[in-house]
Amino acid sequence: MKHPADAQRVYAARCRDGRELRLSASGGVFGVLARHVLARDGVVYGVAYSSAMEARHVAAEDASSLSSLHDSKYVQSHLGSTFRDVQRQLQDGREVLFSGTPCQVAGLRRFLRQSYTNLLTCDILCHSVASPRIFSDYVRFVERHTRGRMVNLSLRDKSRGWGSGATRIDYADGTSLYDSYWASIWAVAYPLHLITRPSCHACPFCSGQRVGDISIGDFWGVERALPQSYCADGVSLVLVNTEHGRQLWCDVQADMFVDASTLDDAMQPVLMRHSSPDVRRDEFWHDYQRGGFDAVVRKYWHYSPLLALRQRLKLLLRIGLRETGKEVERQP
């Protein structure tokens, strides 16, 4: 069910806690909402990477579990038994905050078949989700070439500020690759819409009428719409869509810097239209079925053995410095 837009309130917001803000993809609003629910003995559902680098919906029941739910995962998450788990928690009387794409929020509401006063839903302003199969192939490809086990991929690293395009791959040995060629493969692949799910190109949720109690995303253009709200570490666009959402929003505002806005001033492409498939989509999947990931990464994302060699030399430098006891934080 979409909520009527005339009852909606629009805000620019960012977390007052600087560390929380830098860990988040935009303004840190999800973390504030989540901590508030946990403080009331509630449970929070969001997306984290598993040990196998699969994006999965998981439950967080304490603040220490929230860090893995930060940052955007540009791939469809695996829900597993999440809907049943949410239902059980609700029936036991616990407050639940569920965060996901609009279609996942709508799916949860359909599954529950009734309203719960102890359920809070937060939908993200979603551009589309990528194929988990392709993402898994990508992870194995990177691990094979860099000879390390990935534990995290961030396309929204804030070391150079919000929206800088900085990337980071974290490894199980505690090292990281910043702004590497390997991360750029996925950063280039995702927005091309070759690997996004077909349903995303007919998404009925790309509008100002939202399905969640609260909707959150990046407030791109805030420096023009609300100059006083701009922050180099990120600003969230927040749509408060229901009375239930307003109650929670009133409870958490003291932990944020908040300015009221309007939907017109805050308008984002994802609130107007769904994404369109790349004209080469059918060709891409035909090539993938015939030649696998190695074939398509060469044809569509310009992978070459020479680039791989250069990256391997950088990797050897990283390993050498690590073995001599020097900490490596950034790659050239």
pLDDT at 153: 95
Please, which pLDDT band fits residue 14 given cuts at 50, 70 and 90? very high
pTM for the structure as a whole: 0.89
pLDDT at 132: 96
Please, which pLDDT band fits residue 38 given cuts at 50, 70 and 90? very high
Please state the rounded mean pLDDT for residues 99-103.
97
Query: Mean pLDDT in the chain?
Result: 90
Instruction: Write the pLDDT tens digit of every residue in 141-160.
Output: 999 988 899 999 999 999 88
pLDDT at 140: 96
pLDDT at 310: 63
pLDDT at 159: 86
Residues 6+ apart with CB under 8 A from 131: 75, 76, 195, 196, 197
Please, which pLDDT band fits residue 37 given cuts at 50, 70 and 90? very high
Instruction: Write the pLDDT tens digit of every residue in 200-258.
Output: 999 999 999 999 999 999 999 999 999 999 999 999 999 999 999 999 999 999 999 99
